[in-house]
């Protein structure tokens, strides 16, 4: 499949590097245009600068601590590192 914006071929494995692979929307590595791999058309409603929620992505909850493995917070990880660094 070729990019409808610049005409260059889109690499076969490009879809695996999409921000949301199930959306089938990728960025052309040549010109940066957003291309829908299912239709082969430009995606006008999706922008790299836009918010994930406005583009159908998962909502980002305000005030929630960053977590790892579901429960450990960034602060907890930093405390664990500091404890391991102490003699």
Q: In the chain, how many domains are there?
A: 1
Does any domain span residue 80? no
Q: What span, in angstroms and rounded, lies between the C-alpha atoms of 77 and 87?
A: 18
Does any domain span residue 58? no
CB–CB of 4/37 below 8 Å? no
Does any domain span residue 22? yes
Does any domain span residue 67? no
Q: Which domain holds residue 39?
A: 1-47
Q: How confident is the model at residue 8 (pLDDT cuts 50, 70, 90)?
A: very high
Residue 67 has pLDDT above 90, yes or no: no
Does any domain span residue 28? yes
End-to-end CA distance of the chain: 58
Does any domain span residue 40? yes
Q: Is the pTM of this model over 0.75?
A: no
The whole-number pLDDT of residue 71 equals 52
Q: What span, in angstroms and rounded, lies between the C-alpha atoms of 23 and 82?
A: 41
């Amino acid at each position: 499949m070729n990019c409808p914006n610049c005409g260059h071929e889109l690499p076969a494995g490009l879809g695996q590097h999409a921000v949301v692979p199930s959306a089938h929307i990728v960025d052309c590595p040549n010109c940066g245009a957003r291309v829908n791999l299912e239709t082969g058309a430009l995606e006008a409603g999706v922008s790299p600068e836009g918010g994930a929620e406005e583009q159908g992505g998962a909502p980002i909850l305000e005030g929630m601590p960053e977590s790892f493995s579901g429960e450990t917070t960034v602060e907890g990880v930093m405390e664990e590192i500091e404890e391991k660094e102490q003699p």
